[in-house]
Amino acid sequence: INLPGGILRKRTAVDELNIRTFFTEGDLLVAEVQSIFQDGSASLHTRSLKYGKLRNGCFMSVSGTGGGGGVVRARRHVFTVTTAHGGGEVDVVLGVNGYIWIAKHVEPETKGKDVSITRIEESVSSSIYSSQNDEIGTETRREIARIGGCIGALVDNGVRVDEDMVMRAYEASLDVEAEAGAGGSDEYLGGERGRRVVEM
């Protein structure tokens, strides 16, 4: 599917009217950039099932400033964090363009079944084009906010953002919170506390 526009937010594809049943303007999706045309528009592919519409979570945009910071190219850009405080599993998608998606992990329905290439349509769950969020618990939301804060702290302090650093920052933030003791909702990781997290 060729889509004009170079950023992850979709613009209307004038010819492909059928796409409106799946995506509308303003949706957020993760895709692979196949090629970039000279006029700046990009060709985005959502071939694999791990690409597509994003929901159940929160978006952040970080820029590559701070000298050496930002999202760097790595082996894994999509990973899952098992969170503390009963938050369950949280997916993190790091885009090299600086766009980051943190969301609750939703088990695909096909887990445990064998999926062959020719039968890939059967494994497509009905919810991949859904705009509706599932029920998300408070602890999960808090952990999503915490991970967002970790990533923000990494960027503010010029540290590269990849899976390894995010995991370490997350664990460090749990330690910092344990040290601080009381102040349950004081999870703000900007400024001073962010720096301490990064130093660890």
Partner 1 sequence: MAPSSATHVLLSPAELSYLHSSLALSPPVRPDGRSSTQFRPLVAESDILPGANGSARVCFPDGTEAIVGVKAEVEKSRWRPSEEHGVHLGTGGGDLEMDNDDEGERVSGKAAGKGLGENSWAEMSIEIPGFRDDDALPVFLAAMLTEALLACGDLKDRLYINRGFHWKLYMDILLLSQPLSYPLPLLSLTTHLALLSARLPKLKSELDEDPLFDDDWDASAYLYPRDSAGKRLDRPPVTLLVMAVGDNIIFDPTTEELAVAEAVLAVSVGDSTSSPKAPSAPSNLRLLSIRTIDPPSRLTPPGVANSMNTATGGNAPASSQDAVAQREGMEQQGVWNPPRGGMRRGLIGKMIKTVVEKGGVAEEVLDGLAAVES
Please report how close the Cβ of residue 56 comes to partner 1 at its closest, in angstroms: 7
Q: Is 48 in the site for partner 1 (CB under 8 A)?
A: no
Of 33, 74, 129, 176, which lies in the binding site for partner 1, with binding defined by CB under 8 A? 129
Give Cα separations from 197 to 65, 192, 193 (angstroms).
19, 9, 6
CB 159 within 8 A of CB 69: yes
Rank residues 71 and 150 by Cβ distance to partner 1 and give the closer one.
Answer: 150
Query: C-alpha dihedral over 99, 23, 52, 60, to 10 degrees?
Result: 20
CB 55 within 8 A of CB 100: no
Q: Is 54 in the site for partner 1 (CB under 8 A)?
A: yes
Rank residues 35 and 130 by Cβ distance to partner 1 and give the closer one.
Answer: 130
Binding to partner 1 by CB under 8 A, coded x per residue (else -) over 60-79, reads x-------------------
Rank residues 114 and 181 by Cβ distance to partner 1 and give the closer one.
Answer: 181
Closest CA to 87 of 147, 135, 134, 138: 138
Backbone angles phi, psi at 183, to 5 degrees: 95, 60
User: ∠ CA(40), CA(2), CA(122), 5° rounding?
Assistant: 145
Please report how close the Cβ of residue 73 comes to partner 1 at its closest, in angstroms: 25
* Residues near partner 1 (CB under 8 A): 9, 21-22, 24, 26-28, 53-60, 126-127, 129-136, 138, 141-142, 145-146, 148-149, 152, 185-191
